[in-house]
């Protein structure tokens, strides 16, 4: 089997017909049946002053649901812990006004026939001192180390751990009460849960540090608490990555065996589906196999898995895109090959869907010739 290192050219008519067929199949995540395989990837935009998503945010998500996205994962939303974030414009998933606004977002998506889950987020040691929404809150993490290795903030105490676990559980319970279709726990990209999973930031000598299984303990306890706060059929997704912001070569696991040691406790704790974040979905994860990170995740856990990483585009990645890098439309034949082999179950689309709200509709109806390239200069006007 030959490894494909590029997404290929813009799809032609035959490829477009195949894309519509492969991606239009429904898929089940616990008690939720999603009508197709397309997921809107979570993308932070900072368009919610005071942490409250307004009418523009409702329209943003509803527009993509109306255009055929099967499942929307919202941008990261801060859980109810003072150290969870560092922006007053990132939405929060706690507080009366904030939750009332999120209920309207869910309603708008459902009115267009879509499904939506909030991504629950705590940034941990990425937080900088004195930043909003709670300036007095210190950065906290497993060992007081930032992802770049510098010190700051403090290591979390038992009380801190319990408070954060409770905040995730409360947010998940609120999501179900508000009518959302599930939740996604953000455990990727160097944020709090990932800081526990990664040996580079977790130097603890208690039960929450050490080997891969011990480093997974805190994330597994978050999953257990979330699982207990919602009904048994309510989907719980978990997003994770090997890479960190500005540390693209960082790895949680160097072998499939190490990866299984991390994923198995999370699956046992109650994860219904994994969202395996990579920068380029077509790259193999470990030597000797074409499987990407999502493919290995499904093989090792048996759970449904979402793949992600420059889908529908040629080159670049999301973080560089936010810094001004554009990307041309790319083919998805390699993606379709992998889906037909059942390497993974769903595909999350980020920048392509940010740029083109009609991306899903065009792909599902064979209108791939009408797809738009990603234009970073237009980000400020995208809605």
Q: Are 212 and 253 in contact (CB under 8 A)?
A: yes
Catalytic residue among 191, 208, 240, 281: 191
Q: Residue-wise over 322-356: b if at least 16 C-beta within 10 A, else e?
A: eeeebbebbbbbbbbbbbeeebbbbbbbbbbbbbb
Q: Are 238 and 223 in contact (CB under 8 A)?
A: yes
Dist. CA 377–CA 241, nearest whole Å: 27
Name the token pair of 161: 């751990």
Name the token pair of 77: 């939303």
Dist. CA 133–CA 83, nearest whole Å: 9
Dist. CA 368–CA 12, nearest whole Å: 8
- 193 alpha carbon, distance to own chain's centre: 13
Name the token pair of 139: 């950065």
299 CB burial (10 A radius; 0-12, 13-18, 19+): middle
Backbone angles phi, psi at 350, to 5 degrees: -105, -95
Q: Are 256 and 296 in contact (CB under 8 A)?
A: yes
Nearest residue to 127 via CA among 149, 148, 150, 152: 152
Name the token pair of 97: 């006004």
Q: Quick check: is 191 catalytic?
A: yes
Q: Are 34 and 70 in contact (CB under 8 A)?
A: yes
116 CB burial (10 A radius; 0-12, 13-18, 19+): buried
Q: Where are the alpha helices (DSSP H) in the chain?
A: 13-23, 55-66, 96-111, 158-177, 192-197, 212-229, 256-269, 293-301, 318-322, 333-340, 351-355, 359-364
Q: Are 360 and 353 in contact (CB under 8 A)?
A: yes
Q: Are 46 and 52 in contact (CB under 8 A)?
A: no
Active site residues: 191
């Amino acid at each position: 089997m030959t490894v494909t290192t590029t997404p290929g050219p813009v799809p032609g008519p035959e490829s477009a017909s195949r894309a519509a067929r492969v991606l239009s199949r429904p898929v089940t995540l616990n008690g939720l049946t999603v009508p197709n395989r397309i997921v809107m990837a979570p993308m932070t935009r900072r368009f919610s002053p005071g942490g409250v998503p307004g009418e523009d945010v409702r329209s943003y998500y509803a527009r993509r649901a109306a255009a055929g996205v099967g499942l929307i994962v919202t941008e990261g939303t801060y859980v109810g812990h003072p150290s969870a974030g560092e922006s007053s414009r990132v939405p929060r998933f706690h507080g009366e006004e904030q939750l009332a606004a999120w209920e309207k977002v869910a309603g708008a998506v459902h009115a267009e026939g879509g499904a939506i889950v909030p991504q629950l987020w705590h940034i941990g040691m990425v937080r900088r001192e004195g930043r909003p929404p709670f300036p007095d809150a210190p950065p906290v993490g497993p060992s007081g180390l930032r992802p770049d290795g510098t010190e700051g903030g403090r290591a979390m105490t038992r009380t801190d751990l319990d408070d954060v676990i409770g905040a995730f559980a409360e947010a998940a319970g609120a999501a179900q009460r508000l009518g959302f279709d599930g939740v996604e726990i953000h455990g990727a990209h160097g944020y709090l849960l990932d800081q526990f999973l990664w040996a580079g930031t977790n130097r603890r000598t208690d039960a929450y540090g050490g080997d891969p299984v011990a480093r997974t303990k805190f994330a597994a306890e978050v999953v257990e608490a979330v699982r207990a706060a919602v009904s048994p059929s309510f989907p719980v997704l978990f997003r994770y990555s090997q890479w960190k912001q500005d540390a693209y070569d960082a790895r949680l696991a160097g072998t499939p065996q190490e990866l299984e040691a991390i994923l198995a406790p999370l699956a046992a704790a109650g994860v219904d589906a994994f969202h395996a974040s990579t920068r380029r979905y077509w790259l193999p994860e470990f030597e000797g196999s074409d499987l990407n990170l999502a493919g290995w995740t499904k093989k090792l856990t048996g759970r449904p898995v979402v793949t992600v990483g420059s889908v529908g585009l040629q080159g670049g990645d999301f973080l560089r895109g936010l810094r001004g890098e554009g990307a041309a439309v790319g083919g998805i034949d390699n993606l379709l090959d992998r889906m037909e082999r059942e390497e993974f179950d769903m595909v999350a689309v980020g920048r392509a869907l940010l740029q083109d709200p009609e991306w899903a509709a065009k792909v599902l109806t064979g209108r791939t010739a009408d797809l738009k390239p990603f234009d970073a200069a237009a980000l400020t006007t995208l809605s």
